[in-house]
A and B are shown apart, each in its own frame.
Chain A
């Protein structure tokens, strides 16, 4: 840790944190990143940089990463938390429960203390919000626009302009789109044939905008189409915050401390004192800075702020996108061989515009599921394993999954409260979450239309799976943007009300979540706020 007080401290190393730090460090302002920084030491060098089928046919060690060294990838009982959380990705959630306990009966919250944060498991779908969505979230479309483009250029986003532009939002700095797999190709061809009919029903389909390289970018490689994206990221074609974290280390003004948990802050005259716990020694210490940028993830940031203000037992809002899985049989591909050259990420995006004016949009992504391995599908079947194996083996290449997401507003029933932990134990966040009847009605109607669309596109829905609330891992609104000067809110510049030099640069400040992944907007917003902070520091303006 540097002896001189850093001008800026950034808490966390996820998608928001790294781009906030980037905006500060590139202006040569000393910035210190404080992070727990859990890393994967087990699997990172174990997985060959080869196509999925080649690995399956030749690697004798594949069980070590497909099943896990401790067989943690075998979903016995309720142990499996989600099919996409494969053993090589589980480090992302390591120690989260003990460092930051959460209690809830109705909400499953995932937090990360890994280097790169939850972004390490990001699916890569990059959505710019529409202007009306930005305004609802508390952001200015005029201010955020240039940051969308700058981030897209920095991380590399691929895709093209298509029917979705008016409902998905538009980016100009795009790499060529990814190749579609054999299922998505036929689904998209079916859409093109029925475009008019589907658009009259409010449904548009297009290729997903993806934070994936289709051309080399710096030291990152283009997508290799190995269909191994749930297991490894060889060549880093899929963007991860860890890529920017590595770039940050090249700035002389940037420093990074890991094994360090930020617990609270306090303001004294012109400086912010940050209380941190060294996780190796258990020793608590204080670091002084001029500006503190909180990017510990919406839940982590909310917790730090509530603890710092002593706001125990005070409810604050929380929003989270409801989402559903619809596994389908793509019957037009029955018996077809799976194309080996493909990727495992989202292939197509469908957006449903129920009112025609862009209000209450719902959005779905199409995935093929070969690389998640057959035994996970077999577990869901009630048939005898021997026969289920014969059946699923035949249907495997024509199984697809649509993942559908809906918008989330602040609702009075959805809140979280910080409770003081017993002596020596950490404080815990209690979350109450209940979807309102109005939202349920809208979701039900949209799901009906989506299933109709799926059938039109040759996908026979097998069931609709509703995971527990919270499992979309999009959390926001604990300290929402507000024009009104209210406690526990964030002003439009990102400054936390009641402070002079503390800024909320992650999703905790978003007042609303549209039915879209928020990661690209998180990065753009963090960059916007940090740039504003840097300019004030350069011009030596005092804190507000």
Chain B
């Protein structure tokens, strides 16, 4: 059977499944993009099998649609088991740092995956590749990913290939994390090359959305899409904008291309885990023409601009980035009930709980969330008034205060509770009494809350 016929057959099989909920395997689910993808897939109500390394398994929250699988893409048998029973694979697993096993993971893994898909009758595959496959002078990463793309292209499966530019999204992960850490820690920021390399930084939530939409749209089969943000910028400009955002001014030091390449080669020879790789140097010195219009048109997808996206990276600073995994629906439901009772002494209806959960998913999409005070009040609800009062003075942007603001906003825009917010006529004497009483209570609780806040943030 020719490749084209085989692909058409796969398309027809995929189309037969289009109306049924997908069961999706995500390889590399424990990575930066993988976590955001899994969150978005679950939000769509799809069943997800997240394939990740053993170390990360224990850190994921429970979700009835989520199944965790500890498997290595180099292990044929484990992979075949992971693919079994799924109808779509999102392939994110990759060795990105020119490791000695890059060939095995990127090329061998691709072949294993194709074989496993054929054996299991899973015909749809979203291949998340890289812009590095488009550069002329490739490092190990670009070369192996390029070979992997060829394997997928010729597999006869219904493949959509996405080629993301730089992906950012969390303060401590992706390019933002690397760049932000360099700016924070180093007096001068070293740039590999002349800094003129142009990329289109794209927000991780937008990458996850593009992946989800490519699954939904069968006319993406057989196509390759550049995935980038709407802003093209040089690496120098990227550094400047991140530095401006975090409020630190740093000078840049450009390491000439050939010297940077030599340094990368030397470091790779000396250490197994070098701080810079040959692929880093080559990838950040060769422009690729990034055209996101095909993705925009086919997916009806509009990525957010960098100015907006970079502000979203602040969210983890409030929500933290210490532990992996977004809160589950059950956790958010409990949280919503607790906050509503605290604010207005009522229990929220299901509709409001659903809105609170949805708002959390949208506002904090793809960002893991450290619990801090919020986790503490879930375990000790009686501490909430004191923690809220103390956090108002000492930690106003904390997760707890942000959640209370969100809950207040949702309650205020619900007709059922409008009387709590619209106010009513009162005599000045009664009003003064209310002000004095409420003010005194708030101040007293803030004082009592200080030691509790101290305990909560260290627990």
Contact = CB atoms under 8 A, between A and B. Distances in A.
A82 interface: no
B415 A384 contact: no
Contact of A386 (B311, B343, B401, B427): B343
Contacts of A394: 423, 426, 431, 434-435
Interface stretch (B47-55, B58-66, B70-78, B226-234): B226-234
Interface residues of B, number: 72
A386 B408 CA distance: 10
B278 to A, nearest CB: 24
A430 B219 CA distance: 43
B413 A67 contact: yes
B138 interface: no
Interface stretch (A22-30, A192-200, A332-340, A529-537): A332-340
B13 interface: no
Nearest to B231: A98
Interface in B240-258: 240-241, 244
Interface in A158-181: none
B446 A71 contact: no
Contacts of A389: 343-344, 408, 420-421
A382 B393 contact: yes
B324 interface: no
Interface size class of A (residues with CB under 8 A): 35 or more
Interface in A378-417: 378-379, 381-391, 393-397
B300 to A, nearest CB: 13
A63 B318 contact: no
B233 A425 contact: yes
Contacts of A222: none
A105 interface: yes
A265 interface: no
Interface stretch (B105-113, B116-124, B127-135, B437-445): B437-445
Given A66-B413, A425-B234, A76 B438 contact: no
Nearest to A62: B413
B217 interface: no
A384 B385 contact: yes
Interface in B334-369: 342-344, 355, 359, 362-363
B428 interface: yes
B392 A77 contact: no
A98 B442 contact: no
5 contacts: A60-B414, A383-B439, A394-B426, A424-B289, A425-B231
Contacts of B423: 337-338, 393-394, 396-397
A335 B428 contact: yes
A374 B412 contact: yes
B231 A77 contact: no
B311 A77 contact: yes
A336 B368 CA distance: 46
B389 interface: yes
Contact of B314 (A77, A282, A387, A390): A77
A269 interface: no
Contacts of B414: 60, 62-63
A63 B236 CA distance: 41
Nearest to B432: A334
Q: Rank and list the top 10 A-B pairs by shortest CB-CB distance, nearest first.
A: A422-B234, A384-B389, A387-B442, A337-B425, A425-B232, A63-B413, A98-B230, A383-B442, A387-B438, A335-B426
A395 B438 CA distance: 13
A417 to B, nearest CB: 15
Interface string A42-62: 000000000001001111101
A321 to B, nearest CB: 24
B84 interface: no
A355 interface: no
Contacts of A233: none
Contact of B422 (A53, A77, A384, A423): A53
B308 A97 contact: yes
A375 B359 CA distance: 16
Given A394-B423, A422-B198, A422-B232, A79 B311 contact: yes
A58 B293 CA distance: 42
Chain A facing B: main interface SS: loop
B331 interface: no
Interface in B293-323: 293, 305-308, 311-312, 314-315, 317-318
Contacts of A62: 413-415
A397 to B, nearest CB: 6
B209 interface: no
Given A101-B231, A393-B423, A388 B442 contact: yes
A338 B424 CA distance: 8
Contacts of A391: 434-435, 438-439, 442
Contact of B418 (A56, A78, A397): A56
Tell which of A101, A387, A390, A424 has the most Cβ of chain B within 10 Å.
A387
A497 to B, nearest CB: 32
Nearest to A376: B409
Given A97-B231, A390-B434, A337 B359 contact: no
Contacts of B413: 56, 62-63, 66-67, 373
Tell which of B232, B240, B396 has the most Cβ of chain A within 10 Å.
B232
Nearest to B290: A424
Nearest to B249: A105
Nearest to A428: B237
A334 B428 contact: yes
A71 B363 contact: yes
B4 interface: no
Contacts of B231: 97-98, 101, 425
Given A63-B413, A335-B425, A386-B343, A425 B389 contact: no
Nearest to A385: B404
Given A77-B314, A386-B385, A424-B232, A59 B438 contact: no
B7 to A, nearest CB: 29
Contacts of B233: 422, 425
Given A59-B415, A384-B392, A391-B435, A77 B318 contact: yes
A544 interface: no
A73 B314 CA distance: 17
B29 to A, nearest CB: 25
A67 B410 CA distance: 8
Contacts of A63: 355, 410, 413-414
A76 B343 contact: no
B56 interface: no
A540 interface: no
B99 interface: no
Contacts of A78: 311, 314
B415 A76 contact: no
B402 interface: yes
A66 B409 CA distance: 9
B406 interface: yes
Contact of A383 (B241, B389, B402): B389
A393 B415 contact: no
Contacts of B311: 77-79
A1 B431 CA distance: 64
Contacts of A387: 389, 438-439, 441-442, 445
Given A67-B413, A334-B431, A335-B428, A375 B408 contact: yes
A384 B428 contact: no
Contact of B343 (A71, A79, A338, A385): A385
A432 interface: no
Given A56-B418, A385-B405, A395-B431, 20 more contacts: A56-B415, A67-B413, A70-B362, A74-B363, A76-B318, A77-B317, A77-B318, A77-B397, A97-B307, A334-B431, A335-B425, A335-B427, A336-B425, A383-B389, A385-B392, A387-B441, A389-B420, A396-B423, A422-B233, A423-B198
B262 interface: no
Contacts of A101: 231
B176 to A, nearest CB: 15
A383 to B, nearest CB: 4
A74 B359 contact: yes
Contacts of B259: none
